[in-house]
Structure 1
Amino acid sequence: MGNFIAQSMDDLPTREQMLAMSGLEFMQGVLDGTVSGPPIGPTLNYWLDVVEEGRVVFRGAPTFETMNPMGTVHGGWYGTLLDSCMACAIMTVVPKGAFYTTLEYKINITRGIPLGMEIVAEGLVQHAGRSTGVANGEIRGAEDGKLYATGSTTCMIMRP
C-alpha cells in the first residue's frame, strides 16, 4: 500500500491530520506514500492499486499464512479484502472534517482462490449520503477474470 507502511502507532496519521483532508485526499495520500499505509496490508499480502472518487482497487495474493486447517484460503482473507476495498471506496466520498466506520458487511465466496494467485478486489460506492455510505465489491482473478467473491457494506459517516 503506497510507499510507506506504518511500523508503529507513531507512524499512523493522527485524528487531526485525517480530519484536515477529504477522504479522497487521504486515500490518494496512502496510494502515493505521503500518508502511511496500514500494517495489515503486508501482513495479509495485499496493497492499494487504484484510488478514484467512489472506487478503490486492491491487489493481493493469499499466502500459506492465510490458509485454514482444511488447506484452503480462510474466509477471513476474502472478508478483509472486501471490507478494505468497499470501505475505502466510501472513504473517497467522505468530506473534509468527517470520518467513517464500517457498520456491517456481507460476503459471498463463489469459488476458492488458489494459493499465490493474484487477485483484484474492487469496491464501488452505490450511495453516499450525509450519514451513511453503501458500497459493493468483487474479488476477481487478475489473469483469469473469474469471480471469486462478492460483498456489500454499509458504513456510517460521522463528524466530530
Structure 2
Amino acid sequence: MSDNQLLTKVPLGSPDINGLDYMRQMLPGQDAEFDKKGIGALLGYRLTEAEDGMVVFSGAPTAMAVNPMGTVHGGWYGTLLDSCMACAICTRLPPGHAYTTLEYKINILRSVPIGREVRAIGTAQHVGRSTGIAIGEIRGVEDGKLYATGSTTCIVLKMPGAA
C-alpha cells in the first residue's frame, strides 16, 4: 500500500459500510498497514475501542511532542481529543455518510508526563442529518487523573449516491 492510498479497505462514506464498522476496521490486528499510518502512528496513540457512540484511543506522549518549555505541546492534547470526539460521532453514521470537524475546544487541566499512558474517551451526544456533537476526556491509565477535556461539533456529509 502506498502512502497516498486510503487508510482502510472500505472508505468512509461508501454505501457499503456504516460508521461503526468503518471504525472497527482500524482496531488493532484488523489491518497491519493501518497500524503504521495516520496521525496516531505519528503522535503515539492508537484506537483501542469502538462502540456505538463511543471510542477510546490509548497512547503516551513522547519527547517528539514537547514544546519549547519541555512539556507536552497543546497540539498533542488537541489532536488526541479531536480524534476521539470526532470518531465517536463517526460510529453513529449510516452508510453513505462522512464527517469532518467544524470546531473543537479543549481544556488542559494538568500536564501529561512524557511516557505516561493515557486513554482518550470520546462520547457522541448527538448525531443528526447535518451535525454531530461530542465530548472527550483524557485520563491517565495508572493514576486515573483527568488531564484534559474537550467538546466538538462536526458536520455530517451525505455522500453522492447515498440512500
TM-score (norm 2): 0.88
- The answer to which structure has the higher helix fraction is 1
1:146 and 2:141 matched: no
Report if the CA contact (8 A) 2:23-2:87 is conserved.
Answer: yes
**Using the alignment, how far apart are the partners of 1:105 and 1:120 within structure 2?**
19
**Using the alignment, how far apart are the partners of 1:140 and 1:7 within structure 2?**
35
Number of residue-to-residue matches in the alignment: 154
Corresponding residue number in structure 1 for 2:128: 129
1:85 and 2:84 matched: yes
**Using the alignment, how far apart are the partners of 1:93 and 1:39 within structure 2?**
22
Q: Report how far residue 157 of structure 1 moved.
A: 0.5
Report if the CA contact (8 A) 1:7-1:39 is conserved.
Answer: no
Corresponding residue number in structure 2 for 1:33: 30
1:97 and 2:93 matched: no
1:10 and 2:5 matched: yes
Residues 46-65 of structure 1 show CA distances to partners (whole Å, capped at 9, x for unaligned) of 00110000000000100000
Matched to 1:69, the amino acid is P
Residues 81-132 of structure 1 show CA distances to partners (whole Å, capped at 9, x for unaligned) of 0000000000000110010000000000000001100000000011111111
**Using the alignment, how far apart are the partners of 2:60 and 2:53 within structure 1?**
24
**Using the alignment, how far apart are the partners of 2:123 and 2:11 within structure 1?**
25
Residues 123-147 of structure 1 show CA distances to partners (whole Å, capped at 9, x for unaligned) of 0011111111100000000010000
Corresponding residue number in structure 1 for 2:64: 65
1:24 and 2:20 matched: yes
Runs of 4+ residues over 3 Å off in structure 1: 34-38
Residues 32-80 of structure 1 show CA distances to partners (whole Å, capped at 9, x for unaligned) of 5248354211210000110000000000100000000101000000000
Q: Secondary structure at the match of 2:34?
A: coil
Mark the runs of 5 or more structure 2 residues left unpaired by the alignment. Answer: none
Q: CA RMSD in A?
A: 1.7
Q: Report how far residue 13 of structure 1 moved.
A: 4.1
Report if the CA contact (8 A) 1:54-1:90 is conserved.
Answer: yes
Matched to 1:49, the amino acid is T
Corresponding residue number in structure 2 for 1:3: none
**Using the alignment, how far apart are the partners of 1:7 and 1:63 within structure 2?**
26
Report if the CA contact (8 A) 1:88-1:123 is conserved.
Answer: yes
**Using the alignment, how far apart are the partners of 2:113 and 2:87 within structure 1?**
25
**Using the alignment, how far apart are the partners of 1:129 and 1:11 within structure 2?**
26
